[in-house]
Amino acid sequence: MAWKTFPLTVVRTDMITPTALSLTFERSDGEPFEYKAGQFINVHFDADGQPVHRSYSIATPPDGGVFEIAMSPVKGGLATKLLSGLKVGDVIDASGPYGRFVLRDDDPCRYILAATGTGVTPYRAMLPALEKLLTEGFTIDILLGIWRREEALYAEDFIRFCDEHAGAVFHACYSREMPDEPQEHEREGYVQLHVAALDPRPETDIVYLCGNPNMIDEAMEMLKAREFPTRQLRREKYLPARV
Ligand SMILES: Cc1cc2nc3c(=O)[nH]c(=O)nc-3n(C[C@H](O)[C@H](O)[C@H](O)COP(=O)(O)OP(=O)(O)OC[C@H]3O[C@@H](n4cnc5c(N)ncnc54)[C@H](O)[C@@H]3O)c2cc1C
């Protein structure tokens, strides 16, 4: 497949948890970068002389200017090595945007937006759009599954958003280590169990699932048993690349 790539210049790098790296880019060919909240880009590079690409969800709301991704490192990973070594001013090749994991023209309902790890980035990009939906009668639960508190990327953004907006609730779900003094938004156990604990119903709810394929499969099984139609289940699996 011939990809239509464009250059991206790194304008900022930040460690946003002990392991997750945020990279902020701008297009360096002078063109605007237009996308919908929830979409992803492909990063293209050569490995052992072969062209490869990896996908990364966009973590910031669309505004035509700079945008951010968050990368969780994978041991021995090709893109992990490339992205971890980037410095401000470096240029990489990318293509996109891609994906249909976006907000649609739904009637007011409860959105259950669940993710593991960096899978929460699409929901961060959606925050301004979600703010508008809250004024239209939607309610929103945002659930992030990680091992422990220190890995809860962008948690402050979701906590602030939910503090400021009645109708929005953030749940940080820890599968390995619960803090000694949990805060109101902190839960113990796998994120999919907390999706189930919200008692999702097809009459009132639409569910978005993003990140770890096993989490998504388990949640899908539970939701299908509850007779959710496919159109109310939206997912983005972070499947490892085949090359
Ligand atoms: C639509 C989409 C969006 C994505 N968005 C993001 C994102 O926003 N942030 C992000 O960090 N990642 C995201 N991913 C995953 C990302 O594309 C890469 O797969 C990931 O960064 C690993 O790439 P790598 O080249 O470093 O590792 P690779 O070189 O592909 O893999 C190295 C080795 O690790 C194994 N491996 C790969 N991934 C995993 C894993 N998750 N768990 C355990 N073993 C693994 C591989 O099978 C291989 O043996 C997304 C994936 C998809 C499909």
* pLDDT the model gives residue 242: 78
- Segments forming the whole domain that contains residue 87: 6-98
CATH at 87: 2.40.30.10
Closest approach atom of ligand 1 to CA 74? 26
Which of 25, 55, 86, 124 should be mutated for ligand 1, with most atoms under 8 A from CB?
A: 55
Residues 94 and 195 in one domain: no
Which of 40, 50, 74 should be mutated for ligand 1, with most atoms under 8 A from CB?
A: 74
Instruction: List pocket residues of ligand 1, CB cut-off 6 Å.
Output: 40, 54-57, 69-72, 74, 76-80, 118, 121, 236, 238-241
Residues 143 and 198 in one domain: yes
The values of phi and psi at residue 110, to 5°, are -95, 125
Residues 228 and 145 in one domain: yes
Q: pLDDT by residue (tens digit) across 54-91?
A: 999 999 999 878 999 999 999 999 999 999 999 999 99
Contact (CB, 8 A) for 242 and 219:
no
Count of beta carbons in the 10 Å neighbourhood of residue 119: 28
Ranges assigned E (strand) in 40-179: 40-47, 50-57, 67-71, 91-98, 110-116, 139-146, 168-174
Alpha carbon of 33 to ligand 1 centroid (Å):
23
Nearest CA to ligand 1 atom 32: 77
CATH at 143: 3.40.50.80
Residues 127 and 58 in one domain: no
Alpha carbon of 240 to ligand 1 centroid (Å):
5
Contact (CB, 8 A) for 190 and 145:
yes
**Of the candidates 51, 70, 98, which is a domain's last residue?**
98
Residues 173 and 93 in one domain: no
Alpha carbon of 74 to ligand 1 centroid (Å):
7
Residues 115 and 92 in one domain: no
Q: Could you tell me the pLDDT band of residue 1, with boundaries at 50, 70 and 90?
A: confident
* pLDDT the model gives residue 106: 97
Would residue 103 count as lying in a domain?
no
**Environment class of residue 230 by beta-carbon count within 10 Å: exposed (0-12), middle (13-18) or buried (19+)?**
exposed
How many domains in the chain? 2
Q: In which element (H, E) is residue 123 found?
A: helix 121-134
Residues 169 and 84 in one domain: no
Q: pLDDT by residue (tens digit) across 115-166?
A: 999 999 999 999 999 999 999 999 999 999 999 999 999 999 999 999 999 9
Dig out the tokens for 176 from the structure.
Answer: 């390995």
Q: pLDDT by residue (tens digit) across 173-192?
A: 999 999 999 999 999 999 99
